[in-house]
Amino acid sequence: MIEILEKKDYRQITNEIHLEFAAVSDNESFARMAVSAFITPLNPTLEEVSDVKTAISEAVTNAIIHGYENRGNVTDRIYMNCELKSDMLEVEIIDRGVGIEDIARAMEPLFTTRPELERSGMGFAFMEAFMDDLEVQSEPGQGTVVRMCKKIGLGSWIGSEE
């Protein structure tokens, strides 16, 4: 079974949140806003906020549409863990849904298992493009963990003359 929380070295963590919410589409915007508010102390640029919100949106939407097959059942849960380690945001989006048979294929741009819903198959590609690191762990019948990292606060020194 995929572990939700692993043992951590809390000496490196400066802040963390753990959220659990129903796997319904209305909660996608909640997840985006929660993470954007969480990173506010790092003084992110608008581009960094937008990148993080887009990646979170894609991961949560994938959990709803693919992990839970868009059932809209409030008993289906998504777990979101966020940590700040200095200027690094680490996010996990976890579902206990159907899992992914072939992760490499699922991560190919334009591949989708739900073409009838007019899905573009770009979710993982967007997560990779907007975050600094992406890792996907999944077991059929057990669910999926999407781990993403992004360094926040780059805009404060870009272009400086120091």
Q: How many domains does the chain have?
A: 1
pLDDT at 76: 97
Residue 4 counted as domain residue: no
Residues identified as active-site: 58, 62, 119
Q: What is the pLDDT of residue 110?
A: 64
Q: Given strand 133-139, what is the order of strands in its sheet?
A: 15-22, 77-85, 88-95, 143-151, 133-139
Q: Is residue 104 part of a domain?
A: yes
How high is the pLDDT of residue 130? 96
The first and second tokens of residue 148, run together, are 């993403």
The verdict on residue 56 lying in a domain is yes
Q: Using DSSP, state whether 50 is helix, strand or coil.
A: helix
Q: Is residue 160 included in any domain, yes or no? A: no
**Residue 68 maps to which CATH number?**
3.30.565.10
3 assigned to some structural domain: no
Q: Which backbone phi and psi does 138 adopt, to 5 degrees?
A: -155, 150
Q: Report yes or no: 42 and 105 within 8 Å, Cβ to Cβ.
A: no
Domain that holds residue 20: 15-153
Q: Tell me the sheet residues that pair with 137.
A: 145
Inside any domain, residue 41: yes
For residue 42, tell me if it sits in a domain. yes
Which pLDDT score, from 0 to 100, does residue 120 have?
Answer: 60
What is the residue-level pLDDT of the chain in tens, covering all 162 positions? 455 555 556 567 889 999 999 999 999 999 999 999 999 999 999 999 999 999 999 999 999 999 999 898 999 999 999 999 999 999 999 999 999 998 888 887 766 666 666 556 567 888 999 999 999 999 999 999 999 999 998 544 444 443
